[in-house]
Structure 1
Amino acid sequence: PVVGDIGSCVAALLSGMGANWAAAPADWTGAVTRKREENVAKMAPRLMNNNSPMDYHGALGVLRTIIKERPDAILVNEGANTLDLARGVIDMYQPRKRLDVGTWGVMGIGMGYAIAAAIETGKPVLAVEGDSAFGFSGMEVETICRYNLPVCIVIFNNNGIYRGTDVNPTGGSDVATTVFVKDSRYDKMMEAFGGVGVHVTTPDELKRAVDAAMDSGKPTLVNAAIDPAAGSESGRIGNLNPQSKIRKK
């Protein structure tokens, strides 16, 4: 494996390749550049919307700007859609400033990462969490408040795992196992331990709340209400599940 930030690693690879390495065909590099520019242009209006309830892109567009304005901050990220989309939307400007969960099933480490990053670096930490991911270790907000750490947690609250609109396939009155308590107020958890809790419903409100938290350095949790229908299954892994012959009949 190549270990290091992308800038220093690519520089080392280029140096090792030497000056005689054949350049890639201009047609190919040009096609890649045009495709990138096309995608950036297509994404721009989605990242600038101010919808209420928020979708993932509008909310992440705000956080993308905040990290650009505060490149020295540590970004912690975990979730399903929250993680997948944030990886593609939020750019980093300095090495060793981003901590996320890696791949496949290691959710729950976000709060531990945030606490460790704040203690070890003394820098402000922005932890972007899916509501399911936060649920694994959410009580660590008490630790954050106890030590008065400069951590701002943003929870993308869409009322469930992937979507908050799923229906129990077995019928009856029970909710689907992927659906959480509707309109939960995670911000009240932070307030219970003496931190700052904020509930927001638009990207504009989200920007103001996170900026205030990063400026103050106070333990803050921002409950960002996301449209329950905005999410999709991460990686479409459900398609790999074996299908019951009985269910098909």
Structure 2
Amino acid sequence: MASSTSRNSNQFSRSEQSFISAEPRLDGRNRDDFRLLQLTEGCLPQSHGSCRWKNGICSVKASIVQPSARYPTRGVLTIHVDGHLMRSQYDPLQTKLQQLISLPNNGDEANRLIIQEGAYVWQLNVDVWLLQLDTIDAISLAIRSAVQNTVLPRIHAEDLTIATDLPPISLAKLYTPIVITITCVSASLILLDATELEMSSSWARIHIALDEQVQVCGTRWSSTATLTTQTIADCIQLAVQAYSKRLASIAISTATSDALTLAGAIVLQ
């Protein structure tokens, strides 16, 4: 990828870039390797769905709302990110997540969120609490896991009462998009799943949201130099190629009773 860039004080030196290019990176990974992400589902019994990982916890609570005029037959997804830092630290991350992650707008699984077409749908309120700032990639995977852990009661459309005689609705096969970030350290040095040090030394980061069919459903980027159309296209192609590898880097387990107690304590702090 070619692009004109101006060096800043945070960038790696040429020798450091040469070291990373030769592989491995400082943590032993190759440039296209992902770190293992361990997710634990069902850690918050008071939520409709939940997931925790090393750096945070994600909760899904559902409510009944009227659909938007733009999408009358589509459920609603809201994302809120918070933590122990100042609110301003989380606003950019929350905005990017809300822009990149949406619910599927068709298919049997998406239809599970419709209570009465054009009148009532489920709104999934996703709350992410971060113990420390994490990548948008990891958070998108935690959100998908929490959504797929979600179980909703069946509702009588006539009076919006719970249908106790019918089995609940599982969203186990509802796939929200995941985000893969391409980090450009130099014009020729491109990394997947960059560490904080690598990101601080980069001149561009491109966030690419991919759905279950590995179709691009959103892109956002930040850069200290001009990104060419070819650069963006190359990064999108790399993200698409890395989709399966990203999913293979996830280990999902179910919360035990001890984990439930710990997760509850974290939320109450």
**TM-score > 0.5 by shorter chain:** no
TM-score (norm 1): 0.23
More strand by share: 2
TM-score (norm 2): 0.22
Q: Whose RCO is larger (CA < 8 A, sep 6+)?
A: 2
